[in-house]
Amino acid sequence: MKQYFGIDVGGTEVKWAIMDEDFNFVGDRGSIKTDFSSAEEAVEAFASLVEPYRDQIAAIGMSVPGSVMEDDPDGTIHRGGALTYMDQCPLAKLMRERFGVPVAVNNDGKCAGLGEYAAGALKGTRFGVTIGIGTGIAGGIIIDGKALRGAHCFAGEFSFLNNNTADPVTPGNWFAETAGWMALRKRIFEEKGEPVDPAVDGRIFFKWIEAGDEAAIRGLDRYALAFDNWLINLQAVLDPEVFAIAGGISCHPELFDAFERMMDKALEHMLPGFPRPVVKRAELGNDANIYGAVLEAKRLVAE
């Protein structure tokens, strides 16, 4: 059975693992810090991870910040996301020349969606969407097992959807501002009538919610209603079978209880027959990007 080397390049660490054709982890896996200062240094670090296993792998899949154009055999990274020094780096070409095997490179949000399609909450769907709740809102649009990239590789960048079409677009009006995890914290403190305490994170305010804190629950419901309204917008445009929600706060069942509880209110004035968004928790956690990168690598071997 063929084996594949998956690499997930993040802003703080680079995770790697070896998987087989059935998406089982086999052999070693690990991580290193993302403390590079140049593309050359980063590529050398990636290569050093692969080197001990070069004789046992059929292909390499890489999940990276930034954009990679569809059908670009060089896997050139544009913008580089949090790693701006990777802009214009032909990563697939460099790794392919080093190891002599096919190399697939794709954006991290799209790899997360592909991972959930391969072995998670989108498995068995023809059309699904992943939404990662963090400081911003990551997205992956998966159609027939492929990630929609769009003309400029910007499909699924949900953070930049505008809340207020009457005014110019500003960060304060973005989907990220009203649906990131800090928006939930802000609503909870508003319900408490207190200024936001920056030291309070999701681990703390979900303890309040779990303990039955009424103000915290009201804040959660306000957040869930706003989020559900966004899901309705996306349902109207994309009409997926499933929305798979990922990110740090997605581990709390209370979040999904609130999404379900507030969906009736969000749909209250919609026309009869409008499809109710189906919301599930993403299943693969921090490994989703590696699964997605390996799925892309497998396709290169099959071609």
87-100 per-position pLDDT tens digit: 999 999 999 999 99
pLDDT in tens, 259-271: 999 999 999 999 9
**What tens digit of pLDDT does each residue of 195-210 get?**
999 999 999 999 999 9
* The pairing of beta strand 127-133 with beta strand 3-9: unpaired
pLDDT of the residue at 164? 82
DSSP helix/strand/coil, 150? coil
Distance, CA of 163 to CA of 185 (rounded, Å) = 19
Label the pairing between strands 77-78 and 103-107.
unpaired
pLDDT one-digit tens code per residue, 141-157:
999 999 999 998 889 99
Between CA 206 and CA 216 the distance in angstroms is 8
Judged by DSSP in three states, 212 sits in coil
With a threshold of 0.85, does the pTM exceed it? Answer: yes
Say how far apart CA 125 and CA 129 lie, in whole Å.
Answer: 10
Note the Cα 118 to chain centre separation in Å: 14
Contacts 24+ apart (CB under 8 A), 28-35: 28/53, 34/9, 34/10, 34/83
For residue 15, the cross-strand partners are 8, 31
Place of tokens 């660490």: 13
